A and B are shown apart, each in its own frame.
Chain A
């Protein structure tokens, strides 16, 4: 199952609302997770089951979607949110990741 993330990069300012989309090549129910990764670090789980916020993750992060179309929204960007974001499908093997979205400071 291929995951296509868009955009591949994004420039935004603190306080902006941003949305990242992830499209699956076939239906994956809600078996989709979102991760944040900062340089030199392991990925950090943000959202699983498409819309469930992982404990400890700020509520400005939200996820939605099911089937083939999913979104990650950050309601008001904070300085610590500038990072790379990846979607991941866990509906079937091989598990696949989107190609990533690099979120940069404008």
Chain B
């Protein structure tokens, strides 16, 4: 079955960096675009970044220039490199598999999330 497991969250000071990972299993990882979505404590969902199956990427304005999404298809792993972190980046970060086809577009499979806390 499809499984997505995030890791790498923790407490970090403003201005520092952190790298999140999302280990995928149960499907052909290299064939799917992947996404990162975050949720600040008590708030709604915010889309963060996308990477296509062949490495094309896109970012929310709030993170562009600071965050980099990448993937290693040989390791079935998605990454989010977060630099110059701000207090407002504090959130649970979810990875999700992007379904894109004639039937529609949606995020069916999600990881359980990893908490990033940016605080001095």
Contact = CB atoms under 8 A, between A and B. Distances in A.
B104 interface: yes
A86 to B, nearest CB: 6
Contacts of A35: 45, 107
A28 B50 CA distance: 19
Interface size, B (range): 20 to 34
B46 A97 contact: yes
Contacts of A95: 35, 47, 50
Contacts, number: 64
A86 B105 contact: no
Contacts of A44: 110
Interface string B29-65: 0000001010000001111001000000010110000
7 contacts: A42-B111, A43-B94, A48-B103, A49-B103, A94-B58, A97-B44, A97-B45
Interface of B: 35, 37, 44-47, 50, 58, 60-61, 94, 99, 103-108, 110-113
Interface of A: 30-31, 33, 35, 37, 41-45, 48-49, 52, 54, 86, 88, 90, 93-100
